[in-house]
């Protein structure tokens, strides 16, 4: 029997809970002033706060309420940090989220692509341009490492949409260990006058006794930490927040030289003057792992951490006897497979983005028993992409510059150093990695003098998903990020001639190749079967090695048609560039304008992926010009797993076969009769095998 | 001001909460009989249960209470499942846990080593041998895929220690998505008469209308699922549980041919007769993803899943429109780095195991600025080990059999197929992997016909931790698991002669080498710098390739002293085994009795790790006998990252230097004057460089 009165009974129970919880949490004292002074970190009250943090605030939340989170983020490294923070938040969240990201151009480019390809259900992302608001804070002298961007938290009531009433503001260096809805629930505890929720500082900084003549900005006792803030925006706007902090800051700057802790100094100074603005949050919602932190008093008896904050400039390298514990929490999300967070909120159905829905429908139509199921599935996969994973500092693009474009997975990382020594120019590389491998890659670059010295190599992480290597999608990602007029479309297991970069730039200039001219410069390809090759420093040396049998033309034995049209015999003698004609299965390494056709991303795994691109170039009437002094050499390596699979599986070959047919049908559709020669070539090659 | 009366006030608040929660959760109806019938999955009540599941049971728990969990586990594959289940449980837990594992020999060997090396604080593990209890259930005819082991859950009140009062029983195919303490808290809701807590079945199986003549065992309505059980053991013992279920089962087996769902049929039959025994748990504590599950009615409006249960024989391959969602939850823990769970419970300090404490202290004494810090740290690292990660079916060990012993990381996986084709005998391989890579390895083996056909290859996963490859520790792990009289100590990048396995067995027999005789049979080593080597099928072919320059003696150019003592010139002509003498830096590949000395695990990364082992053999007076027909060939591959690092870092070489000194000091301590020659050799080699 289900009595109709039930909802009302539940309401009563909730009210009861509310009272009980409120009492438990705050012992009846909801206002900071009355509650405690500077010594509270040491007192028993703190412990009660810890215990209270285990309490059930979720039940006070309207189910499925949209929660708003604002983060200021600028630059390459912060963008990586934000991803880890967001992963931790998404892992525990049960509510729809709206992220408000205040970013510079760099972070926006990275994060926009990231969220667009991440496709997490029930997450909306809005971007706000920092440059619009910088002038509001740039007058404040500040010595904190967060620079201008830390200060921007002060202008959020102004920068965020006027109809946004409440928001949680987070620093990029925090990690969640619990559901953010529990934090949001504290808004329900704000009195009418309160508009800022904060955790107390867990250091003695603001007590001003750290060293002789240490003069911190004014604060109530230990002050508050602004790594985690609950902002009641519309109240702040009504209260004239902008005036309030500016007046305070200007007055204090008459006697204090600069802010040491950026926005935090100003927040604390304002609060010291208006203590009634603040709701004190339990310490576990911002466990501060700064140098000489007092946080242990907060967490030592807590069974349930909420948010940790790496607020030392040393970040994860901070020294602290429990740092291993906190690092583990953080590493959990650093290495967590972000794809796994693409999960719906069952409790709160949300409208998926249109492309996601379409994709779902297409996926549902695939037949798992089909031999080419994996091909088809991979084709529908949207890979999460993190562009420019590491800082990049390209020189203003020169007119005739060339970017080397290639892609790799983690088992080819050790090629990078050699490649850097052969190619001093810009590179755009797509890396196919898991989240954990991306961290491994980061450590690899940090440990390498050669790699960390380079600022003109862009690394774009495409996150792994599915069984087949999406080779052409990776090439397209790298290609799209090239910033120079021309690109050298290479592969990671090739080392170009030491002189190639300069020679290509000179050739482009001499041949007067504009980015409009449809020319593909062919770089002849060779291979070494020996590990310990002494790399030829000139064409003459190369020819000598070739004659000695130490080098071969690329795949001379297993796939000669791939490079025969380059006409190696003519190249030996050539003194000037010469034109060659397309032929079936030709797949030279070429230099083309950046605006060249994209690769066909239906080709996944191994086989025919470059051939199809060269067909496309030919169909669009690119001329192929072989350069007489250019060469590149394939270095030996163990076969990739995808190749072994291709070689051993007839089904794999059949699927590739079907894919080629599809590709040729599309060619006919686009190019009509002009595409007939490709079909003829395909049929001839099939009848000959 | 902190009033003394505070704790009492808190107590009152908790009581208030208790009342509120109890009311909210169960609407006052705590007994199954009164609460609902078979239709409850469909009714509104279920939804209330879902909502109730978000509720704060933690606060009802005595903080730091030890929770007991029992799991029945048998065989290789179940052992892997248990690890994933345990990871999910540890991830969310905040209480100390005592795991009671009822295992067969195989699972015990795996799990004992795993937990011993995992060293998770505040987790105790006890083992119980299934064979002691099998006779109590083996008389029951059963067609469920869990076989005998499912049925063993019936005997837990008897099998577990008599002073253990309450336990949570879990199937190996469940995954936690929340804190197990919330589940444990339901014990507080048991009436005096209740002794079993269960979730209702989320399928229509027990309704008996699935197909014509479907005759399930009797159950109340849809019955209960036994993937997650709260057992009040002492009440069950007092109530004569053993008699109870045996009487019921015997009686029903007079008319029903066998149990289809193992213990679950019997639990349900008993409960049908004694409904008062059961406390109904909210459905979210056992979301059942069987084929044709009705679970969606449970989870579709839930924001907070608790436990998922892969109770289809298809496991993660079950078809279900939301399976991707659940798979993601499961994959989270499948691929989760188990090392990260080695974190203390701050709230509940526990006594770490003595070796952990010692290790902590030693680690704390290390100087992070020391150039050899990483070496020293790696030396103190205890790597988590999962022995026999895949099923193994060794033939009863023959007297003169040889196991190939080697180690590898994920970048050498592609060597395995070739190795298998060269070595048909038993192998014991240590794999150095992350948890995610271990899953990649699993998929790799499943996809390979060659590898999945082999049942005599033991794969031991040693989980990655720290920056240096613990090469000798890996060798020791693999060596310790060999089951044959002799072992061939090889490296993963070597392919032995096709005939080597049989030749070694024959040689051991002909030379009458007992496992007591201290003989090391030397297998001469060669190298190919070419990828596409046509592997020699005889010594004659090998010599021809050697003369043609296609093969070389191993490291002839960069490290000749490693193999010179093998005397390749003599080997060319040799018709019979011949003895050779140790010399400095000698590191041949040898076949030795399984009881040979272990490798010195202080050598990590690259360099001198095998040399030290050969010194140890010589010091223990092993004779070195070169076999005239034996050979093994090193296949080319890209250099490992560790080697590149070694080559580029003087600090690395200095640390190795220091390590060698330490090794020689130990040699002198153990072998006295006899070890003098090693020191002399070391000094001579240093003065010559």
In tens, the pLDDT along A143-178 reads: 888 888 999 999 999 999 999 999 999 999 999 999
Residue with tokens 């740039």, as numbered in its chain: A138
Please give the residue of chain A at the shortest CA–CA distance from B8.
A24
In terms of domains, do B280 and B407 share one? no
**B303–A64 C-beta distance less than 8 A:** yes
**A302–B346 C-beta distance less than 8 A:** yes
Minimal Cα–Cα distance from A293 to chain B, Å? 16
- Decide if B110 contacts B387 (C-beta within 8 A): yes
The answer to whether position A246 is within a domain reads yes
Taking residues A653-668, what's their average pLDDT? 91
Calculate the average pLDDT of chain A: 87
Q: Report the largest interatomic distance among the alpha carbons of chain A, rounded to a whole angstrom.
A: 96
The answer to whether position A32 is within a domain reads no
Distances (CA, A) of B39 to A52, B36, B193: 39, 7, 24
Sequence-ordered list of residues with C-beta below 8 angstroms from that of A308, at least 6 positions apart, any chain: A174, A175, A177, A287, A289, A326, A329, A330
Q: Among A11, A347, A365, which would you mutate to test the B interface (most chain B Cβ atoms within 10 Å of its Cβ)?
A: A347
Q: Among B20, B333, B436, which would you mutate to test the A interface (most chain A Cβ atoms within 10 Å of its Cβ)?
A: B20
Asked whether the predicted pLDDT for residue B639 surpasses 70, the reply is no
The answer to whether position A173 is within a domain reads yes
Asked whether the predicted pLDDT for residue B568 surpasses 90, the reply is yes
Which pLDDT band holds residue A325 (cuts at 50, 70, 90)?
confident
User: Domain total for chain A?
Assistant: 2
In terms of domains, do A280 and A389 share one? no
Taking residues B296-315, what's their average pLDDT? 86
- Decide if A367 contacts A116 (C-beta within 8 A): no
DSSP for B116-149 reads HHH--TTEEEEEEEGGGTGGGTTTS-B-STTHHH
Which pLDDT band holds residue B233 (cuts at 50, 70, 90)?
very high
Minimal Cα–Cα distance from B592 to chain A, Å? 30
In terms of domains, do B667 and B553 share one? yes
In this prediction, residue B302 carries a pLDDT of 77
Q: Pick the more confident residue, B349 or B136.
A: B136
For the ranges B87-96, B345-354, B464-473, B608-617, which has the lowest average pLDDT? B345-354
**B641–A638 C-beta distance less than 8 A:** no
**B63–A59 C-beta distance less than 8 A:** no
Minimal Cα–Cα distance from B575 to chain A, Å? 33
Please write the tens of the pLDDT for every residue from A335-381. 999 999 998 888 887 777 777 788 888 888 888 788 888 888 888 89
In this prediction, residue A461 carries a pLDDT of 98
For the ranges A273-282, A394-403, B658-667, which has the lowest average pLDDT? A394-403
Asked whether the predicted pLDDT for residue B36 surpasses 70, the reply is no
The answer to whether position A221 is within a domain reads yes
Residues 407-436 on B with a CB inside 8 Å of A are 411, 413-415, 417, 434, 436
**B531–A636 C-beta distance less than 8 A:** yes
Asked whether the predicted pLDDT for residue A37 surpasses 60, the reply is no
* Pairing, β B224-232 against β B632-634: unpaired
The CATH number for B126's domain is 3.90.550.10
**A325–B343 C-beta distance less than 8 A:** yes
- Which of B284, B312, B334 is where one domain is finished? B284
Distances (CA, A) of B478 to B106, B418, B469, B487, B604: 17, 19, 15, 10, 16
Tokens, residue B103: 């295992």
In this prediction, residue B648 carries a pLDDT of 66
Task: Assess B343–A contact: CB distance below 8 Å, yes or no.
Answer: yes
CA distance B270 to B553: 73
Asked whether the predicted pLDDT for residue B116 surpasses 90, the reply is yes
**B325–A346 C-beta distance less than 8 A:** yes
CA distance B445 to B414: 10
In this prediction, residue A317 carries a pLDDT of 80
CA distance A454 to A218: 44
Please write the tens of the pLDDT for every residue from B49-62. 333 333 344 456 66
Phi-psi region of B147 (alpha: psi -120 to 50; beta: other; left: phi over 0): left
CA nearest neighbour of A617 among A520, A682, A685: A520
Task: Assess B63–A contact: CB distance below 8 Å, yes or no.
Answer: yes
In this prediction, residue B59 carries a pLDDT of 52
CA distance A587 to A421: 25
Backbone phi, psi, residue A643, to 5°: -65, -45
Taking residues B378-397, what's their average pLDDT? 91
In this prediction, residue A259 carries a pLDDT of 87
Calculate the average pLDDT of chain B: 87
Q: Pick the more confident residue, A225 or B636.
A: A225
Minimal Cα–Cα distance from B322 to chain A, Å? 9
**B336–A332 C-beta distance less than 8 A:** yes
In this prediction, residue A516 carries a pLDDT of 84
In this prediction, residue B641 carries a pLDDT of 62
In this prediction, residue A58 carries a pLDDT of 45
Task: Assess A48–B contact: CB distance below 8 Å, yes or no.
Answer: yes
> H or E stretch including A590?
strand A589-593
Task: Assess A450–B contact: CB distance below 8 Å, yes or no.
Answer: no
The answer to whether position B596 is within a domain reads yes
Of A24, A302, A303, the CB nearest to B10: A24
Sequence-ordered list of residues with C-beta below 8 angstroms from that of B549, at least 6 positions apart, any chain: none
Sequence-ordered list of residues with C-beta below 8 angstroms from that of A61, at least 6 positions apart, any chain: A95, A181, A184, A185
Q: Pick the more confident residue, A655 or B525.
A: B525
* Pairing, β B589-593 against β A123-129: unpaired
Sequence-ordered list of residues with C-beta below 8 angstroms from that of B503, at least 6 positions apart, any chain: B497, B627, B629, B630
Q: Pick the more confident residue, B501 or A367.
A: B501
Tokens, residue B599: 């490798």
- Decide if B614 contacts B603 (C-beta within 8 A): no
Asked whether the predicted pLDDT for residue A631 surpasses 90, the reply is yes
Asked whether the predicted pLDDT for residue B351 surpasses 90, the reply is no
**Percent of chain B residues past pLDDT 90, beyond the cut:** 64
- Which of B255, B284, B313 is where one domain is finished? B284
Asked whether the predicted pLDDT for residue B252 surpasses 90, the reply is yes
In this prediction, residue A279 carries a pLDDT of 97
The segment with the largest mean pLDDT, out of A229-243, B210-224, B334-348, is: A229-243
Task: Assess A645–B contact: CB distance below 8 Å, yes or no.
Answer: yes
* SS3 label, residue B563: coil
Residue with tokens 């503001």, as numbered in its chain: A169
Q: Pick the more confident residue, B642 or A276.
A: A276
In terms of domains, do B280 and B389 share one? no
In this prediction, residue A644 carries a pLDDT of 62
From chain B, the residues in CB contact with A464 under 8 A are: none
In terms of domains, do A553 and A422 share one? yes
Of A59, A530, A639, the CB nearest to B54: A59
In this prediction, residue B58 carries a pLDDT of 45
Asked whether the predicted pLDDT for residue A46 surpasses 60, the reply is no
From chain B, the residues in CB contact with A328 under 8 A are: 339-343
Q: Among B1, B17, B647, which would you mutate to test the A interface (most chain A Cβ atoms within 10 Å of its Cβ)?
A: B17
- Decide if B278 contacts B189 (C-beta within 8 A): no
Task: Assess A43–B contact: CB distance below 8 Å, yes or no.
Answer: yes
**B6–A413 C-beta distance less than 8 A:** no
**A414–B641 C-beta distance less than 8 A:** yes
Asked whether the predicted pLDDT for residue B48 surpasses 50, the reply is no
Tokens, residue A376: 């088809």
- Which of B284, B310, B338 is where one domain is finished? B284
**Percent of chain B residues past pLDDT 70, beyond the cut:** 89
In this prediction, residue A10 carries a pLDDT of 40
Please write the tens of the pLDDT for every residue from A65-83. 999 999 999 999 999 999 9
Residue with tokens 């080559």, as numbered in its chain: B647
First-residue to last-residue Cα distance in chain A: 75
In this prediction, residue B285 carries a pLDDT of 97
CA nearest neighbour of B608 among B425, B472, B441: B472
Which pLDDT band holds residue A48 (cuts at 50, 70, 90)?
very low
- Decide if A375 contacts A659 (C-beta within 8 A): yes
Residue with tokens 């000489």, as numbered in its chain: A292
Taking residues B8-20, what's their average pLDDT? 40
From chain B, the residues in CB contact with A344 under 8 A are: 322, 325
* Pairing, β A166-170 against β A224-232: antiparallel
How many CB contacts within 8 angstroms connect chain A with chain B? 175
Taking residues B278-306, what's their average pLDDT? 90
Tokens, residue A7: 């909802």
CA distance A342 to A361: 16
Asked whether the predicted pLDDT for residue B15 surpasses 70, the reply is no
Residue ranges of E strands in B390-518:
402-409, 427-433, 457-463, 486-489, 494-496
In this prediction, residue A61 carries a pLDDT of 66
From chain A, the residues in CB contact with B322 under 8 A are: 344, 346
- The whole model's pTM is what? 0.87
The answer to whether position A321 is within a domain reads no
Asked whether the predicted pLDDT for residue A572 surpasses 70, the reply is yes
Which pLDDT band holds residue B92 (cuts at 50, 70, 90)?
very high
The answer to whether position A389 is within a domain reads yes
Reported ipTM: 0.82
CA distance A354 to A360: 10
Alpha-helical segments (H) within B481-538 = 500-510
> H or E stretch including A107?
helix A105-118
Taking residues B315-334, what's their average pLDDT? 85
**B346–A301 C-beta distance less than 8 A:** yes
Show the domain range for B101: 63-284
Task: Assess A552–B contact: CB distance below 8 Å, yes or no.
Answer: no
Asked whether the predicted pLDDT for residue A33 surpasses 80, the reply is no
CA distance B619 to A208: 65
- Decide if B659 contacts B596 (C-beta within 8 A): no
* Pairing, β B578-580 against β A589-593: unpaired
In this prediction, residue A620 carries a pLDDT of 96
The answer to whether position B556 is within a domain reads yes
């Amino acid at each position: 029997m289900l009595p109709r009165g039930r909802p009302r009974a539940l309401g009563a129970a909730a009210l009861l809970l509310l009272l009980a919880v409120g009492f438990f949490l705050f012992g009846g004292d909801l206002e900071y002033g009355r509650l405690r002074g500077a010594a509270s970190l040491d007192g028993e009250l703190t412990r009660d706060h810890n215990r209270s943090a285990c309490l059930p605030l979720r039940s006070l939340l309207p189910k499925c309420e949209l929660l708003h989170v604002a983060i200021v983020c600028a630059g390459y490294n912060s963008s990586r940090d934000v991803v880890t923070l967001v992963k931790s938040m998404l892992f525990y969240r049960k509510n729809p989220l709206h992220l408000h990201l205040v970013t510079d151009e760099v972070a926006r480019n990275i994060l926009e692509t990231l969220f667009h390809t991440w496709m997490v259900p029930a997450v909306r992302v809005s971007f706000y341009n920092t440059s619009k608001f910088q002038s509001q804070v740039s007058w404040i002298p500040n010595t904190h490492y967060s620079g201008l961007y830390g200060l921007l938290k002060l202008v959020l009531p102004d920068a965020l949409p006027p109809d946004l009433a409440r928001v949680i503001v987070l620093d990029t260096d925090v990690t969640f260990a619990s559901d953010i809805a529990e934090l949001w629930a504290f808004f329900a505890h704000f009195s009418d006058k309160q508009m800022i929720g904060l955790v107390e500082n867990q250091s003695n900084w603001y007590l001003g006794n750290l060293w002789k003549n240490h003069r911190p900005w004014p604060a109530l006792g230990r002050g508050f930490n602004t790594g985690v803030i609950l902002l009641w925006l519309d109240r702040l706007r009504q209260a004239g927040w902008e005036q309030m902090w500016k007046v305070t800051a200007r007055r204090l700057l008459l006697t204090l030289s600069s802010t040491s802790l950026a926005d935090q100094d100003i927040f604390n100074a304002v609060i010291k003057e208006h203590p009634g603005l603040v709701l004190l949050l339990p310490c576990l919602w911002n466990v501060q792992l700064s140098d000489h932190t007092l946080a242990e008093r907060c967490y030592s008896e807590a069974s349930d951490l909420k948010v940790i904050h790496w607020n030392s400039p040393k970040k994860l390298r901070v020294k602290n006897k429990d740092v291993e514990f906190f690092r583990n929490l953080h590493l959990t999300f650093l290495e967590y497979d972000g794809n796994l967070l693409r999960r719906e909120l069952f409790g709160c159905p949300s409208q998926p983005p249109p492309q996601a829905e379409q994709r779902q429908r297409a996926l549902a139509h695939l037949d798992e028993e089909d031999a080419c199921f994996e091909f088809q599935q991979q084709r529908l996969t949207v890979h999460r992409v993190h562009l420019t994973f590491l800082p990049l500092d390209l020189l203003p693009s020169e007119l005739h510059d060339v970017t080397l474009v290639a892609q790799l997975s983690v088992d080819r990382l050790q090629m990078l150093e050699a490649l850097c020594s052969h190619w001093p120019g810009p590179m755009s590389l797509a890396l196919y990695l898991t989240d954990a491998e991306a961290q491994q890659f980061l450590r690899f670059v940090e440990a390498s003098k050669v790699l960390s010295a380079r600022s003109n190599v862009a690394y774009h992480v495409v996150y792994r998903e599915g069984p087949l290597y999406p080779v052409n999608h990776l090439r397209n990602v790298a290609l799209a990020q090239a910033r120079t007029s021309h690109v050298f479309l290479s592969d990671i297991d090739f080392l170009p001639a030491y002189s190639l970069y300069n020679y290509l730039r000179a050739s482009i200039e001499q041949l007067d190749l504009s980015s409009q001219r449809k020319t593909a410069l062919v770089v002849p390809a060779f291979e070494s079967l020996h590990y310990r090759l002494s790399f030829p420093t000139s064409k003459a040396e190369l020819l000598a090695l070739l004659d000695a049998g130490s080098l071969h033309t690329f795949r001379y034995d297993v796939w000669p048609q791939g490079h025969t049209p380059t006409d190696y015999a003519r190249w030996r003698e050539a003194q000037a560039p010469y034109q060659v004609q397309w032929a079936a299965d030709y797949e030279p390494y070429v230099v083309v304008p950046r605006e060249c056709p994209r690769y066909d991303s239906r080709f996944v795994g191994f086989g025919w992926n470059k051939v199809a691109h060269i067909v496309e170039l030919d169909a669009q009437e690119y001329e192929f010009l072989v350069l007489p002094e250019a060469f590149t050499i394939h270095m030996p390596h163990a076969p990739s797993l995808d190749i072994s699979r291709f070689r051993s599986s007839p089904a794999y070959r059949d699927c590739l076969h079907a894919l080629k047919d599809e590709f040729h049908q599309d060619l006919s559709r686009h190019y009509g009769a002009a595409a007939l020669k490709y079909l003829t070539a395909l049929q001839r090659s099939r009848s000959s095998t």
